[in-house]
Amino acid sequence: MATMTMIEAIRSALREEMARDERVVALGQDIGQLGGVFRATDGLLKEFGADRVFDMPLAEGVIAGSALGLAVSGLVPVAEIQFLGFTHQAFHQIAPQIARYRYRSQGRYNAQVTIRTPFGGGVRTPELHSDAIEAQFVQAPGLKVVMPSNPYDAKGMLLEAIRDPDPVLFCEPLRGYRLVKGEVPEGDYTVPFGQSRVTREGSDVTLVAWSAAVQLAERAAERLAEEGIEAKVLDLRTLVPLDVEGLVSAVESTGRCVVVHEAPLTAGFGAEVVATLQEEAFYSLEAPVARVAAPDTPYPIASIEDYYVPSVERVVDAVRRTVSAK
């Protein structure tokens, strides 16, 4: 096992899978010669050549839409959209086209398409680069929405995504690209979708998070431990499919829950987490499930983003209120 950053884990998944399966092709803006604006695809052009790694025109809609066509032709495309905020430009191809192609064709065609895209705040990017709009893709049945939080999952889930016969939106936490490190096996392994993971045990409250918010929850849990509150941290890992069972049992075991996400509060995926818990674990809940999220405003400009993205303090506060409720 080697220690890798998120970006290294992603790059190694791409490299290995392209070597293993010659149907895999990579496409996106600046992914060739430059190796991607974050170097996720660094070296791929050199290793696999210009017939498998494509610098695309600046048009997200056709990056997504042509990936569907490539899949129908028999290839296995892995597309990069430079930032999740620019999937807005491809929304009409992702939600009503790629996600529905199996359904529309009643199983004749499937869209084995992976769309990789970074998102999330805290790194002082210009407008629209940090938008956490993952929940908007959850209402696109047919699509899977995958949210790795660490290098191990990033590699294993990216391999799973590329091999999944159905389309996957694979969201990468920008902030974690170089900051989050972890052990990553060299060879082939996959992390199945729909299986959440407890990253820290605790009996007083369950913190539910995904992507970069997992580290936030863990930091909050450390802080809480100092004051004697033991928080369990649950990494959802995938929003679609949602691990209802894992979620429910993690929360039932503590009776209290705080959901943490980077997207604005209203209609963020946290709402679904709460609604699901409320339906499935109603009688185990000892206090209202709290949500710690960004406010209902656009992502602000760099100098004030730290007041926007949920902080350890806000999580700690919410947990304190939740454990003391009733």
Ligand X SMILES: Cc1ncc(C[n+]2csc(CCOP(=O)(O)OP(=O)(O)O)c2C)c(N)n1
Task: Give the binding site for its own copies (CB under 8 A).
Answer: 85, 88-89, 91-92, 95-96, 99-100, 103-104, 127-128, 131, 133, 135-136, 138-139, 141-142, 240, 242, 263-264, 266-272, 274-275, 278-279, 282, 285, 287-291, 296-298
**Cβ–Cβ under 8 Å, residues 9 and 187:** no
- The verdict on 12 binding ligand X (CB under 6 A) reads no
**Before 241, cis peptide (omega within 30)?**
yes
Are 134 and 145 in contact by the 8 Å Cβ rule? The answer is yes
Q: Work out whether 91 is an interface residue with ligand X (CB under 6 A).
A: no
- The dihedrals phi and psi of 261, each to the nearest 5 degrees, come to -145, 165
Other C-beta atoms within 10 Å of 245: how many?
Answer: 12
Q: How far is the CB of 208 from its own copies (least distance, A)?
A: 12
Q: Around 95, how many Cα atoms within 13 Å sit in the side-chain half-sphere?
A: 13
| DSSP one-letter code for 56 | P
Choose the one of ligand X, other proteins, its own copies, none that binds residue 138, judging by a C-beta under 5 to 8 angstroms depending on kind: its own copies
- Considering the rule CB under 6 A, would residue 125 count as an interface residue with ligand X? no
Contacts within 8 Å (CB) and 24+ apart, 106-109: 109/72
Which two tokens mark 163?
């091999």
Q: Which of 8, 77, 277, 323 binds other proteins (CB under 8 A)?
A: 77
Return the closest-CA partner of residue 21 out of 162, 148, 116. 162
Is 126 a binder of other proteins (CB under 8 A)? Answer: yes
CB 237 within 8 Å of CB 199 = no
Identity of the residue, 137 or 210, whose beta carbon is nearer to ligand X in the bound complex:
137
Q: Which of ligand X, other proteins, its own copies, none lies near 263, with the C-beta cut-off 5 to 8 A by kind?
A: its own copies
Active-site residue among 88, 92, 129, 261?
Answer: 129
Q: Tell me whether residue 82 or residue 322 sits nearer to ligand X (CB atom).
A: 82
Any catalytic annotation for residue 92? Answer: no
- The residues in 235-264 that bind other proteins, with binding defined as CB under 8 A, are 240-242, 244-245
Rounded CA separation 221/225 (Å): 6
State which residue, 2 or 58, has the beta carbon closest to ligand X: 58
Q: Binding residues for ligand X, per CB under 6 A? A: 29, 58, 82, 86, 89
Cite the active site residues: 129
